[in-house]
Amino acid sequence: MRMNTRKGLLLGLLVAAVAAPPVAADEISQTNGLRKALTVDGVRQHQAAFQSHADTNGGSRTGGSPGFEASATYVKAKAQAAGYTVSDHFFEFLYNADNTPPTLNQVSPSAVEYVDGVDYSSMTFSGSIPSTTAALWAVDLRLPQAPGPGATTSGCEAADFAGMPAGSIALMQRGTCPFGAKADNARAAGAIASIIFNDGGDAGRVGVINGTLGPGTHGPALGTSLPVGQDLANGVSSGSTGSTVTIRIDRVEETRTTRNVIAESPGGDPNSVVVVGAHLDSVPRGGGIQDNGSGSASNLEIAETLAARDIVPRNKIRFIWFSAEEFGLLGSRAYVADLPPAERSKIKAMLNFDMIGSPNYVRFVYDGDNSAFPVGPGAALGPAGSGEIERIFHDYFAAVGLASAETPFSGRSDYGPFIAAGVGIPAGGLFTGAEGVKTAAEAAVYGGTAGQPYDPCYHLRCDDYDNISINGLSEMSDAAAHATYSLSKRDLAKNPLVNPFGPVSGTGGTTSGGGGLHIDHEEDAA
């Protein structure tokens, strides 16, 4: 029998309403007390501790290092003191970092000494090379700079290296294909090393590249800023640049052991778990007090505040501080991989807070329903219920009078292994931007400076205690606390998360860049 269209629509809406999980009439008022008790000063105290761990351990808190261990011990002690059941999840990983600082100097046509960490940096999983002087060969460059992000295929094709003499240093440009592919192509063509400079396609692609070639055996490779690349190119887009440089890269690669720190609430259904995660490690080059001392410190403060207020959740809350995220989400991947299927099924939702205090911030929410950034390059498929987590954040920001916007659900932070095929755990979270560039429209809504990166110290030594927006950190920490509390009180055992009826969005609009993907340089996402 053909159904009347009007009746069919009403029936569809009724079914959707019945299928939706029950939501408290006023989610916002229920978290007022928690958010008032949570202070940005408390978050900053934890960040100050992380800074001290970096300062006393060579300036870094990278996974498997003494600086990381100091932070992990600190978090564990604080969580235990607050009454959580705390454990360590150990795993091995391939550590690759500078053993001693690299050097890059131009010898001719003029003598120039470049500065490590300002003009250039060695790439993760780069090979090593002793101090060597050699001629540069330009590989299909777009000069003076690319007309847009990724608007060059430099080094992506074997034909790009035609005529290059063996023993040259290949000078390439960021764009289109992964850095590892460029370096491998150069090595196969006879280059002794690779220099890859930023393409200048927008203001976020001018500074030094802090990239990774990805695990495997690769030739020596440095990433540089656009001005250094232009200087070395000497106006030549293909062929000999007439420049010679001295390069030295000294990397260490070894298997190390590190740990994720796990703290579980004493109360809550152990068969219905909400994971609240953040990575605790930094890149080898710096202390990572924003990336990701901001999310790690916020989660620790939320955990302490929940305990101090004697809040008993319906679902068990499992805070996890992941290690080795900066080497490719290794901590979260190891955690998910080591969980038996029965234990995975107990996790009903995952919240991820990675970089939530960027100095030039935007209030980005992961696009869990893929409505702003459809599935494709740079976006992952959010499992059912991820859109509901997105709604919780956007509705919160709207209720307190703050705009919010979507960022791609790319899988490029520690929620990635949770939403992966075969796991399918609903996830969501917050992000305030990395090396992406704030647009004029965003500056009009959120303040800050248009045309500048959200975090100018992303993956650099200057990511320290002062590399922060206090307002942004305060606003995002409150939102994180709200979502944590709200999900902890849902009856997720009987009513699993489902996406809302219709697309979810914030009030601050969207941008094509979405804030710059975290660990964007694992592959060149041009």
Active-site positions read: 325
Q: Would you state the structure tokens that stand for residue 331, as one six-digit string?
A: 């901590």
Other Cβ atoms less than 10 A from the Cβ of 303: the count is: 23
Find the distance separating the first CA and the last CA of the chain, reported in whole Å. Answer: 52
The answer to whether the CB of 382 falls within 8 A of the CB of 427 is yes
Q: Any idea how long the chain is?
A: 526
How far, in Å, CA of 258 to CA of 90, rounded?
A: 6
Whose tokens are 């740990």? That residue is 259
Q: Would you state the structure tokens that stand for residue 367, as one six-digit string?
A: 């696009």
Other Cβ atoms less than 10 A from the Cβ of 9: the count is: 11
How far, in Å, CA of 459 to CA of 214, rounded?
A: 16
| CA angle, 152 then 208 then 462, to 5° | 150
DSSP strand pairing (221-224 vs 347-353): unpaired
What's the Cα-to-Cα distance from 481 to each of 15, 35, 43, rounded to whole Å?
Answer: 31, 7, 12
Q: In whole angstroms, what separates CA 361 from the centre of its chain?
A: 14
* Beta-bridge partners for 240: 137
- Over its C-alpha atoms, the chain yields an Rg (Å, rounded) of 24
> Taking Cα atoms as reference points, which of 255, 388, 396 lies closest to residue 327?
255
Helices (H), 262-339: 293-308, 330-338
> Taking Cα atoms as reference points, which of 277, 455, 436 lies closest to residue 357?
455
> Taking Cα atoms as reference points, which of 226, 245, 204 lies closest to residue 142?
226
How far, in Å, CA of 121 to CA of 114, rounded?
A: 10
The answer to whether the CB of 296 falls within 8 A of the CB of 469 is no
How far, in Å, CA of 295 to CA of 275, rounded?
A: 14
How far, in Å, CA of 202 to CA of 215, rounded?
A: 28
Other Cβ atoms less than 10 A from the Cβ of 200: the count is: 25
DSSP 437: B
Amino acid type, 4: N
